[in-house]
Amino acid sequence: MKELKELRFFINSHIDQFSERKLEIIETGLKITEKEYAKTFNWKDILYISNTDKFVHFIFSNTNHLLIPKNCFISKNDIKYFLELVTHETFKYRKELKKPFPVEKPTYSLGILGIIPLVGGLLGIVLILLGLFIYKDRILTIIGSASIIFTIYLYWDLII
């Protein structure tokens, strides 16, 4: 019973999150209208468009996000038409959209190549760069560092 009261409190205090919204495509961009609220996102502000299984996701230059559930569309053709229209209008102002971060995880089995002396050093540099800038993956960075350390240790042992 207590949980139900807390849920009612949450819904009542955040009622604007559950209100009906209308999305319009206007000449300058996308317009979201609620009862007493309207917000316009300009075409030039769209940085990223993603089409996932259940949502169409937009990221804007002012760090706002917009998630549109796919069940709001009547058919898959409507989703396709909407995305083509938005992409076409966005490309009038931008030559390219930001590329999303890769969704698939990197393969860690490349780290086994780190035991090959010279290849391991070069591979380590590549893995560190991929781990830091592309995948944002700490394990990949650690594997790259281990490959470089192993290569340095091996060559240091040969020199001394």
What pLDDT, in 10s, does the model give residues 24-45?
889 888 998 887 788 898 988 8
Give backbone dihedrals phi and psi of 110, rounded to 5 degrees, phi first.
Answer: -65, -25
Does 113 fall in a domain? Answer: yes
Residue 122 CB burial class (10 angstroms; 0-12, 13-18, ≥19): middle
Per-residue pLDDT tens, the chain, 160 aa: give them.
445 445 444 445 555 555 678 888 898 889 988 877 888 989 888 888 888 888 888 888 887 888 888 888 888 888 888 888 888 888 887 776 665 555 566 788 888 998 998 899 999 999 999 899 888 889 999 999 999 999 999 888 888 7
3-state secondary structure of 37: coil
pTM for this model (two decimals): 0.51
Are 84 and 116 in the same domain? no
Total domains, the chain: 2
Range of the domain at 78: 2-91
Q: CA gyration radius for the chain?
A: 24
